[in-house]
Amino acid sequence: MKKTLISAVFIFLFSGYAFAQQRTPDKRGFLVRVGDDAPDFTMTLADDGKTVKLSDLRGKVVMLQFTASWCGVCRKEMPHIESEIWQAYKDKGLHVYAIDRDEPKAKALMLKEQTGITYPIGLDPGADIFGLYAGKKEGVTRNVLIDRNGKIIFLTRLYNVDEFSKLVEKIGEQFD
């Protein structure tokens, strides 16, 4: 009995330690790492009010783009996501979602119109979804690529042409 109790306490403490380690931001502010299961969430789309639950997209390749209307780098990157990723892979089954950090629907829709994107934009009140993937005090302009098994396979931060090219390449590999 004592041995079982000690083992259970050890497992509980070790699990808490592993969780705490996973939740420590890396040097780019990410709380998640390549190889992790993508944290699940449900969001409302600004476009049509429908809800999307990430786990319901298992079996699909998904890209999350964390953004905000005030983010100049996001605005620079979004047309590239539109042309080089969304238009190139949407008919092959890629799901791309912009996730607007802590702004009202009107701001998210304005961002979508001003950047000319056609992929869906979801709302993230309180930056709660963002907080599953990066420290809440960290900046946006982040992309998370998730494979058909729900595993994170690529992360980007800011808009770097070389890193973006590698993201596009990684997406292409999912459809080869």
Domains of the chain: 26-174 (3.40.30.10)
User: pLDDT category, 3, cuts 50, 70, 90?
Assistant: low
Instruction: State the Cα–Cα distance between residues 3 and 58, nearest whole angstrom.
Output: 40
CA-derived radius of gyration, the chain = 18
CA distances from 8 to 11, 19, 140, 154 (A): 5, 16, 40, 35
| Sign of the Cα pseudo-torsion (134, 88, 56, 167, in order) | negative
- Identify the band that residue 91 occupies on the pLDDT scale cut at 50, 70 and 90: very high
pLDDT band at residue 2 using 50, 70 and 90 as cut-offs: low
Average pLDDT, the chain: 91
Per-residue DSSP letter, 40: P
What is the side-by-side order of every strand in the sheet holding 62-67?
Answer: 51-53, 42-45, 121-124, 95-101, 62-67, 142-146, 152-157
Output the pTM of the full model: 0.87
154 beta partners: 145
φ, ψ of residue 141 in degrees (nearest 5): 65, 65
Task: Assess whether pLDDT exceeds 80 at residue 12.
Answer: no
Please write the tens of the pLDDT for every residue from 34-86. 999 999 999 999 999 999 999 999 999 999 999 999 999 999 999 999 999 99
Task: Kindly report the length of the chain.
Answer: 176
